[in-house]
Chain A
Amino acid sequence: MSFTTSPYLLKDTSVSQVMTQVCIALIPGIVAYVWLIGPAILAQLVIATLAALLAEAVMLRIQRKPLAIFLSDGSAIVTAWLIALTFPPLAPWWLVFTGTVFAIVIAKHLYGGLGQNPFNPAMVAFAVCIVSFPALMSQWPSVGLQMPLVEQINIILGLAPRVDALSGATPLDALKTALKLGDGSVDVAHLLANQDVFGNFAGRGWEWVAGGYLIGGLYLWERKLITWHVPTAFLASMTLIGGALWLYSPTQFANPLFHLLSGGAMIGAFFIATDPVSGCTTPRGKLIFGAGAGLLAYIIRVFGGYPDGVAFAVLLMNLCVPVIDLLTQPAIFGMKDKS
């Protein structure tokens, strides 16, 4: 029998180990995406990864930091994957490239690099691109797109013309547009049952992708890489406001489950709002951060002009993080809580 002294730490968790786990956790969502939406997303993942590594290497070289350590920590790859997964799968290559380079160079390195960025880089990329290129960012493949992979990749690389098959909308957009055109005469239940773009709970195909992210998120929680606070608060506040409005007028508002499984809600709750750098650090702060992001995401996607609100919601809550952290300091162990 051997004795050692404290601390009884099993091992250090390095940045690269955390990032590898996050990438593994994204795999169920990516598999569902490839299976149900199309394999073109794999090309986007490759483009985003290469762009992120290139931008990271250039910025490290300028700052004369060691390339190998920082390039292999995987943080740039996680950012790149989140960008690829939130952009339209058939977006031209330069759109994903521009977004990724902007995220790494401006949102990450100009603020001081890994661990210093006040805003989530992936969501900065999304916001920049949807503000700058609104048309391209709203072209999603139409439901059941039958197109060989080579042709899809040609479209991404700009070698083939962008055809009508790409003019689909996201389920959220389709619902919003139909409600606006109907001007009060259509009801949500009827739309959800009859339009091709909707599946059993939310968007056809997309609902299972969201389910994949949920599984990945639970894996992250099980491995203690994220705590329960942010995702629970995010999904709960979205359910509460969605549920309240749905009960108030079931013909005008979709049920909360539709919203939880649409757009970026699941990936946002588990992978984006839980970013340890740009999010809150105190437990109560995490609850406020998650709840605020969920509430804002719902308000922006339902009442705003953009197809989804997760990116803007997360960025707005990133702005509030310093204040929230300041006001939610827990009492020091053994001391009485001053407030």
Chain B
Amino acid sequence: MITREEIKTIADNGIWKQNTSIVQILGLCPLLAVTTNAVNGIMLSLATIIVMAMSGVAIASLRNLIPHEIRIPVFILIVAALVTVVDLLFNANLHELYLVLGIFIPLIVTNCIVLARVEAFAAKNPPVQATLDGVFMGIGMLWTLAVLGAMRELLGSGTILGGIDMVFPSLQPIQVLPESYPGFLLALLPPGAFILLGCMIAWKNWMSAKAAERAQRRPPEPVSTAGCH
């Protein structure tokens, strides 16, 4: 089925090494539009995770039946059907949030993250791996959008968890900075998203460069016995 080592590689790729937002730089349109607070970013990522996990399992199961020449239209059809399900789910259960996220839930169909993973991974791997890949790629997107949304919200309006009342009606956003904080509006506008995303990419590159430097200095470790730790 699947080894521990494989799971680790898939998780590492999805969350850090091939992070969709700060390494592959995919799906910038929803990233700019919905990360005005952390909650919106997290909820859109959750919707994307559901779609990616389900499309992973569906396409990986059907991968030997889909004719290679028309695979893209077939992928899109499957993804579109799954997105419709998620869209209706949000509309029924989280209606206020559905209105805020608006067109970006249906647009998951055209999100290049989904199609990229389906084409690059699910079409070539068994269903379990494909599902996990979808989930971990989605988690990678989730934490980046959450951090970006939280930074934009804090700078722009001085609160955290704005919009949480749309998901859990009993909770309220927390005012972190004093009421008199004037609000750095630029952070909430698309340029602010670009600047902060640029800072996150720089931070990721810096961390990777440091890790590579450390790895070079250290003698190579003996090959570990897979699955025993």
What residues make up the interface of A, taking CB atoms closer than 8 Å to B? 98, 106, 110, 128, 131-133, 136
- Whether the Cβ atoms of B195 and A132 lie closer than 8 Å is no
The answer to whether B174 has its CB under 8 Å from any CB of chain A is no
CA distance A98 to B182 in the complex (A): 12
Could you say which of B182, B189, B195, B198 contacts A133, with CB atoms under 8 Å apart? B182
CA distance A307 to B214 in the complex (A): 54
CA distance A131 to B192 in the complex (A): 11
A-B Cβ contacts below 8 A, count: 14
Closest residue of B by beta carbon distance from A110: B198
**Chain B residues closer than 8 Å to A128, beta-carbon distance:** 186
B contact residues, range: under 10
Chain A min CB distance to B151 (Å): 15
Closest residue of A by beta carbon distance from B199: A110
Closest residue of A by beta carbon distance from B180: A158
**Chain A residues closer than 8 Å to B185, beta-carbon distance:** 131-133
What residues make up the interface of B, taking CB atoms closer than 8 Å to A? 182-186, 189, 195, 198
**Chain B residues closer than 8 Å to A98, beta-carbon distance:** 184
Q: List 14 A-B contacts (CB under 8 A).
A: A98-B184, A106-B195, A110-B198, A128-B186, A131-B185, A131-B186, A131-B189, A132-B183, A132-B184, A132-B185, A132-B186, A133-B182, A133-B185, A136-B182
CA distance A106 to B186 in the complex (A): 13
**Chain B residues closer than 8 Å to A110, beta-carbon distance:** 198
**Chain A residues closer than 8 Å to B186, beta-carbon distance:** 128, 131-132
CA distance A136 to B184 in the complex (A): 12
CA distance A133 to B186 in the complex (A): 9
CA distance A106 to B189 in the complex (A): 16
Closest residue of B by beta carbon distance from A92: B182
CA distance A106 to B185 in the complex (A): 16
**Chain A residues closer than 8 Å to B184, beta-carbon distance:** 98, 132
CA distance A136 to B183 in the complex (A): 12
Chain B min CB distance to A97 (Å): 12
Closest residue of A by beta carbon distance from B155: A132
**Chain A residues closer than 8 Å to B182, beta-carbon distance:** 133, 136
**Chain B residues closer than 8 Å to A133, beta-carbon distance:** 182, 185
CA distance A136 to B185 in the complex (A): 13
Chain B min CB distance to A125 (Å): 11
**Chain B residues closer than 8 Å to A131, beta-carbon distance:** 185-186, 189
CA distance A110 to B195 in the complex (A): 10
**Chain A residues closer than 8 Å to B195, beta-carbon distance:** 106
**Chain B residues closer than 8 Å to A106, beta-carbon distance:** 195
Chain B min CB distance to A147 (Å): 23
CA distance A131 to B187 in the complex (A): 10
CA distance A98 to B189 in the complex (A): 17
Closest residue of A by beta carbon distance from B192: A132
Q: Apart from A98-B184, A128-B186, what 12 extra A-B contacts exist at CB < 8 Å?
A: A106-B195, A110-B198, A131-B185, A131-B186, A131-B189, A132-B183, A132-B184, A132-B185, A132-B186, A133-B182, A133-B185, A136-B182
Chain B min CB distance to A168 (Å): 20
Closest residue of A by beta carbon distance from B156: A132
CA distance A128 to B185 in the complex (A): 9
Closest residue of B by beta carbon distance from A94: B182
Closest 9 CB pairs of A and B: A132-B185, A132-B186, A132-B184, A128-B186, A131-B186, A133-B182, A131-B185, A106-B195, A131-B189
Give the most central of A128, A131, A132, A133: most B CB within 10 Å: A132
CA distance A212 to B184 in the complex (A): 34
**Chain B residues closer than 8 Å to A136, beta-carbon distance:** 182
Closest residue of B by beta carbon distance from A131: B186
Chain B min CB distance to A157 (Å): 15
Chain A min CB distance to B80 (Å): 38
**Chain A residues closer than 8 Å to B189, beta-carbon distance:** 131
CA distance A128 to B184 in the complex (A): 9
Chain B min CB distance to A111 (Å): 11
**Chain A residues closer than 8 Å to B198, beta-carbon distance:** 110
CA distance A110 to B189 in the complex (A): 20
Chain A min CB distance to B199 (Å): 9
CA distance A98 to B185 in the complex (A): 13
Chain B min CB distance to A26 (Å): 27
**Chain B residues closer than 8 Å to A132, beta-carbon distance:** 183-186
Closest residue of B by beta carbon distance from A98: B184
CA distance A132 to B182 in the complex (A): 9
Chain B min CB distance to A160 (Å): 15
CA distance A98 to B183 in the complex (A): 12
CA distance A132 to B185 in the complex (A): 4
Chain A min CB distance to B91 (Å): 34
